[in-house]
Structure 1
């Protein structure tokens, strides 16, 4: 499915993620950098020099058009990561010691 009519620089891939054109970038990644780090469109372009201005602005437009949904998704992903970290039984020091012994 294509988002050409509303977002000409964005596409939806098979699993349903909204991507920036034919790049490897998902809109959620740029949205997260903008939301969590406070990066402006200009900073996003500095951090991702392979993206064109219209790609970054399209991603931010999509983010603000779907703000609640994407913030909820980011929160859910953060919760999942934190849950996985809590399930980790070995500390970093223990993992490094294990690596040295092999």
Structure 2
């Protein structure tokens, strides 16, 4: 098995995986995942730390700084992820539960 060491960045707590996806050092959290929480919930850095206590405030601020310096790429990544999730949802169709509820007239 070949192990590829992550690439470093100019940001103390941000590394790039072998696919060049930025993640927070010492964790498995990708920068895009943290930023998605900011957009989805409007969380401040302090709230991010409360929700993800395994990530230090320094790591959070480093990830936020990385985002603002690479906004275009990370926004494009979020858009690709959303499109992928939408495709999966459409491909999956209705769940058996939804079909059953619809058949009983409980859903329109």
Whether these two folds match at TM > 0.5 is: yes
More helix by share: 1
Quick one: distance in 2 between partners of 1:56 and 1:22?
Answer: 12
State the distance in 2 between where 1:34 and 1:55 align.
Answer: 15
Q: Which of the two has higher C-alpha Rg?
A: 2
Q: Structure 1, unaligned stretches of length 5 or more?
A: 97-102
Aligned to 2:30: 26
| In 1, Cα distance between equivalents of 2:21 and 2:46 | 24
Q: Give the TM-score, by structure 1 length.
A: 0.82
Aligned to 1:43: 47
Q: Tell me the matched-pair count.
A: 94
State the secondary structure of the residue aligned to 1:30.
helix
Matched, 1:64 2:68: yes
Structure 1 position 25, deviation (Å): 1.1
| Match for residue 8 of structure 1 among 12, 18, 22 | 12
Name the counterpart of 2:91. Answer: 87
Change (3 A) 1:52 1:76: same
Instruction: Deviation per CA, 1:43-90: give whole Å up to 9, x if none.
Output: 100000111110000011111111122112111111111111111134
Q: Show CA shifts across 1:13-66 (max 9, x none).
A: 122211111211111110111122211101100000111110000011111111
> Secondary structure, in 3 states, of the residue corresponding to 2:55?
coil
